[in-house]
Each structure stands twice: as structure tokens, then as C-alpha cells.
Amino acid sequence: MCGIVGYVGTEEAKDIIIDGLRRLEYRGYDSAGIAIVNDGSIIVRKHVGEIINLEKLIGNEKISGNIGIGHTRWATHGAPSDLNSHPHLNEANSIAIVHNGIVENYIELKAMLKEKHNVSFKTETDSEVIAMLIGAYYEGDLKEALLKAVSIIRGAYAIAAVAADNPNELVAHRKDAPLIVGIGKGCNFVASDFSALVKHTDDVYLLENDDTVILTRDSIKILDANEKQVQRTLMHIGWSAEAAEKGGHEHFMMKEILEQPAVVKETIKRRLNEDGIIEFDEIKIGLNELKSFDKIYIVACGTAYHAGLIGRYAIENMVKIPVEVDVASEFRYRNPLVDEKTLFIAISQSGETSDTLAAIKEAKGKGARILSIINVVGSSVARESDDVIYTWAGPEIAVASTKAFITQIVCLHMLSLYMGRLVGTISNRHYEEFISEMLKMPEKIDEVLANRSEIEEYAKDLYSREKVFYIGRGLDSAVCLEGSLKLKEISYINSFAIAAGELKHGTIALMDPDTIVIALATQDKLYEKMLSNIQEVKSRRAHVITITKDKNRSISDSSDETIYIPDCLDELTPLLSVVPLQLFAYYVAKERECNIDKPKNLAKSVTVE
């Protein structure tokens, strides 16, 4: 997914922009570039491949200037190449732009620009038309030219632009693509996501659709769609620069796994008042509206979908409303039965997943109330939602989602408790007991993490196997899906998760001595049933690793290895049982020398369908 950074201030723009681009690397990209206004002209340097290539290209070259823009590109129109990389220039090399999104009518705009303005295009991109359009309309006022350009562009875009003859002003605009404004001291920024700015500021304005912003080093002017000056909500993000660094860890993934006790604590703390009551200031749904919902959809992708499966159990148990959980890429193609009586819950770490966004639009169009659970403040999903619950997991950089998942589950539990209390479907006693158990979870996750060397040993023994099955029942089967996804995405092992009761309907045929079976047996009510399933695979000579509660010591006789998690409520076991699965995936991938934080073929935010 493309990334934008823009800076205007008193320091060297080049260094600040390249640092910002580095912090956006996790989103995935195939080329990078910068444009710096320097003494009446614009210096552009861009290179295909990693940012290091761009830095090598620049080498010791002095590119001085206090205003500039930068970009990491993920190719859509035109192959990844030096030429197709952003920034793009107009015909006279006097305007530079960076662009995220798509110009849908670029072919017709190209033809018009060639014919009427006699410009010659140098790249295969759709984005170059934006530079050419602004150049064609520019008469000394960059904002005016940008507004004229976007008035005839169709598509989705976040654009930042600078002009050679104005070293004091950076102009940007957004429509259906995220863009935030960072408020610095003696400097200001634009960026596609907050991670780029984490070193410089904690305060941002979230731009709305069709907003234009004019930045100088000491002023920020935001215009709405009617070109009227407006004040947008100031958000204090509260992420430290260290939170986005590896902090001595070999990989972000391990750092993020280890952060889970702290982020769970934070996610709970932010919503619990002094009397131990859950308050969701961010939810504006009243009692009557809540009572009017006859159905809830939870829709998400990948790991977030797995959190949704766990959320279904929580909400149905506490609120007694039927819940359906769907993968976002399927949802809108099955003409879902959504109306004004539907509460639609979207879950997304990034808030930029295009399938999830499309599903939200589908549900919104049919009258549903949209509530989202997301991690990245100001992201597109947040903007499309009526109510937003932030997970407060801090920046998640590794492609494999870990701490975001665990905080999504916490939010879903808190939401179901909150709704259950409001509509009266749970007793005060149950409510209080559940919260008191939840508050113990950070410490219990710590206990699981403390035993990680044991899991590392198992991984060292088993990393070369090519077939891994995850089996479980009830909530455990949702956690199995997550464990399996973690393993396949970072270690490239062919793994498969199945509800244990389904084994005998076909999959058991695959069991043999080369197979690893990771069996989750954490649900008290289903424990004996799981024991039978474990025996079934064991008797086919599969290698079985069981994860169960501390109290179930006798299970060790039926397994090759047993990993114990602290005793807790059945409903809360996913917060513990997923941790050994994350660790197993991590250590196996490490043994196999995989690129753990950036697995092949994957990006952190999936912004294409």
C-alpha cells in the first residue's frame, strides 16, 4: 500500500521525509522517492526497490531544502520502476506531487492534457496526470490549481504537492484515501498514517473527505469541500517513538507478542471507570436503538475475522442477539439480509482493508448501523463508521497480526458486557465476575510468555515438517484458525485448521507419522470430546502437541508434548491459548530462516480486492 510523507519546517526535509518513509515500510511497497524544493527548483530522487536503494542513489549528495514530499509506491498502473515511482513532475518540472489511490479517468485526462496543453507523459502511471493537471492550471496559487485538478479527477486519492517557486507552502487533498496532518513545533506534516510522524509529534488532525490543507511551517489551514475554512478534530495519539522501534528485539513480531500483557491492560483500562463499570464514550448507540437490533453481523478479514468468530460467542452469550460472522470478501456478494435493524461490526487492525471497506459500504447502503473496532486512528474504516472503538494496541508493524488480535478480542468482550448490561441480559454478579477475571488476564498472558523457551524447543525439533493440523472445538476452533494462519503466513508451511469433530468426516485420512497435530483442549465442557479426538489422531501416529488448562495434567499421557495455560474462564482462554500458537509460528519461521516481519507475497494493509 502506498505511503505519503510531507514536511514543511526549518530542518532538512530530506532526512525527515526519508525517516518517515522508513516508518511506512511495513505497509509494503516496491519503490520510493522524494521531492525537495531547493532554491527555486525541485530536486526529485526516486528508485525502485527498498528505501535503502533510494538512500544509496542519494549517497552524499547535498539535497538542501526545508519543504518536500516523499512516497512509497505499490505499483498498480505501470510496473515498479524508477520512472514510475513517485514523486511525479509536471511538464515544466516546477510542480511535484505524490499520490495514493487511483485516478479512474486517467486515460481521458491524458488525452485532454496532450491535446490542449501539449504535455508529454514520461511514465505509465495514472498519477502523472495529477502533476500535469496541476501544472496546466498553476498561476501562482498551488491550492487553486490543486482544487481545479481534483474537480475533474474521478477516483480515490490522497495527494500532496509542492511548487518550485513557493518554498513555504505544501498543499494536500484527500478523497476516499487516508491523509492526516501532523502538528509540529515550527513545522507541520502530512502523512498517510501516523506511524510516519511518530518521532515528531503526537497531535494530528484527521482530514475528512474532500478536505484540502495548506501547510506552512507555522500555520495549518483546512478547507472543506465548499472551500470554507474549517477546524477538524484534534487527536492526541499517545504512541511513543519507541513503540514503533524494534527496541532490541530481532523482529517486530516477537516484540509485539511480548507487548500483549501491556496492551491488554491498556485496552481494558481505557474503558473501565473507578467503579469498575465499562464506559464506551465512543459509542453513541442508545438503549432503544440497541433493543431495536434483531441481528448483528461481524465482518472482517484474516486475523480480524478470527477475532470476530470469538466475538460471536461473547455477544450471543451476553446480549442474546443472533450474530453472523463473515469474511469481508464474501459478504457483499451474497446479498446479505441487512436492514435498519442490523448492527454491523467491522474489525480491522489497519482500518484500510479494501474488502472490509466495501462490506461496510454495502451494509451502510442497506441501512445498518456501523460500529468498527480498529487500531489505526483516523483510518478509512473509522471514517465510514457511526461508532468507532479503538483497540489501543499501539503500532503493529509485523505483517503477522498478534497484539492487535488479542486487543480485538478484549474489545469484543467489553462491548458484549457493555451491551448486555445496558439491555439487561446479564446479571450484575456475572458482569462483575467477568470483569474481575478479565483484569487477571495480563498477568496470565505473562505466565504463558515466561514459558516460551519450551515452545522454542518444540519448534527446533519440528520445524522441517511440512504438514500441520490445528484441531479444537468451540472457541478453540476459532483460535486454531488463527494459529494455522500465523504458521502458514510466516513459515510457509502447509497448515490447516479444522473443528475437531469434523476430522472423522474426511480429514483424518491425512493423518500419518509425518503430521503434526496441534490440539487445543481448553474448553471445560468439551474437554472429554477433545480427548477422544486426540486419541483418534494419536492412533494414526500423528505427532500431537496439546494446549490445555493447567488443571488438566492427565492429558499429557495422550500427547507427545503438552503446553499448559493458566486456568481461567472458558470464554477468556483465547487470550492465552493463542500465545503459544503465535510463538510456535515465530520460532518455526526463525528456524526456517524466513523473513518473519515481511513474509513473501504479503502486505500489512491489503488495499486491493
Footprint on this chain of ligand M6R (rule: CB under 6 A): 301-304, 348-350, 353, 356, 399-401, 485, 489, 602, 605-606
Nearer to ligand M6R, 162 or 346 (CB): 346
- Contacts for 87 with CB less than 8 Å, ≥ 6 apart: 33, 34, 35, 44, 46, 69, 70, 71, 96, 97, 98, 131
DSSP 208: P
2 carries an active-site annotation: yes
In the complex, what is the shortest distance from the CB of residue 177 to ligand M6R, in angstroms, rounded to a whole number? 15
Nearer to ligand M6R, 100 or 348 (CB): 348
Nearer to ligand M6R, 147 or 301 (CB): 301
State which residue has the least CB distance to ligand M6R. 302
Helix (H) or strand (E) holding 328: helix 328-331
**Residue 317's CB: how many other CB atoms inside 10 A?**
15
* Structural contact between residues 34 and 96, judged by C-beta atoms closer than 8 angstroms: no
In the complex, what is the shortest distance from the CB of residue 100 to ligand M6R, in angstroms, rounded to a whole number? 16
Determine the length of the chain: 609
Q: Select which of 46, 143, 255, 604 is catalytic.
A: 604
Whole-Å CA distances, 561 to 284, 476, 547: 48, 18, 9
**Residue 507's CB: how many other CB atoms inside 10 A?**
16
Q: Select which of 2, 411, 568, 594 is catalytic.
A: 2
Nearer to ligand M6R, 476 or 482 (CB): 482
* Structural contact between residues 105 and 153, judged by C-beta atoms closer than 8 angstroms: yes
* Structural contact between residues 402 and 379, judged by C-beta atoms closer than 8 angstroms: no
In the complex, what is the shortest distance from the CB of residue 605 to ligand M6R, in angstroms, rounded to a whole number? 6
In the complex, what is the shortest distance from the CB of residue 221 to ligand M6R, in angstroms, rounded to a whole number? 32
Residue-wise burial string across 587-603, b where 16 or more C-beta atoms lie within 10 A, e elsewhere: bbbbbeebebbbbeeeb
For residue 551, count CB atoms less than 10 angstroms from its CB and return exposed for 0-12, middle for 13-18, buried for 19 or more.
exposed
Nearer to ligand M6R, 353 or 559 (CB): 353
Whole-Å CA distances, 56 to 60, 89, 447: 9, 22, 45
Which backbone phi and psi does 159 adopt, to 5 degrees?
-130, 140
Say how far apart CA 88 and CA 90 lie, in whole Å. 7
In the complex, what is the shortest distance from the CB of residue 377 to ligand M6R, in angstroms, rounded to a whole number? 13
604 carries an active-site annotation: yes
In the complex, what is the shortest distance from the CB of residue 419 to ligand M6R, in angstroms, rounded to a whole number? 22
Closest CA to 27 of 5, 47, 12, 59: 5
Nearer to ligand M6R, 28 or 135 (CB): 28
* Structural contact between residues 18 and 54, judged by C-beta atoms closer than 8 angstroms: yes
Say how far apart CA 55 and CA 62 lie, in whole Å. 12
Nearer to ligand M6R, 67 or 479 (CB): 479
In the complex, what is the shortest distance from the CB of residue 297 to ligand M6R, in angstroms, rounded to a whole number? 16
- Residues serving a catalytic function are 2, 604
